[in-house]
Amino acid sequence: MNSYNEVRQALDPVVGVPFKELAPTLGIVFPKEAKRRKAAGGDVVEALLEIAKNSIPKPDLVSLGTEVKTISLNTLSRPRERTKIAAFNLAATKAERSFYKSAPFKKLRSLLFVPIMKINNSTPDYWYLRPPLLWLPTLDQLAVLEADYDLIHDAAQRADWSRLAGRQGRYLILNTSDSKTAGKPEPEKRWAWWLTKPLTQEVCRQNLWPKDAMEARRDDRGRE
Q: Which domains does the chain have, with CATH numbers?
A: 4-210 (3.40.600.10)
Q: How far apart are CA 98 and CA 116, in angstroms?
A: 33
pLDDT tens, per residue, the chain with 224 residues: 778 889 989 999 999 999 999 989 988 888 777 677 777 888 899 899 888 765 556 788 888 889 999 999 988 888 988 999 999 999 999 999 999 999 999 999 889 999 999 888 778 889 999 999 999 899 999 999 999 999 999 999 999 999 998 888 999 999 987 767 777 888 888 899 999 999 999 888 888 765 554 555 556 556 55
State the sign of the Cα–Cα–Cα–Cα dihedral 53, 83, 126, 16.
negative
Burial class (CB in 10 A: 0-12, 13-18, 19+), 25: exposed
Q: How far apart are CA 127 and CA 22, in angstroms?
A: 10
pTM: 0.84
Listed in order, strand segments (DSSP E) in the chain are: 67-73, 83-87, 111-117, 128-129, 133-135, 172-176, 191-195
Count, residues in the chain: 224
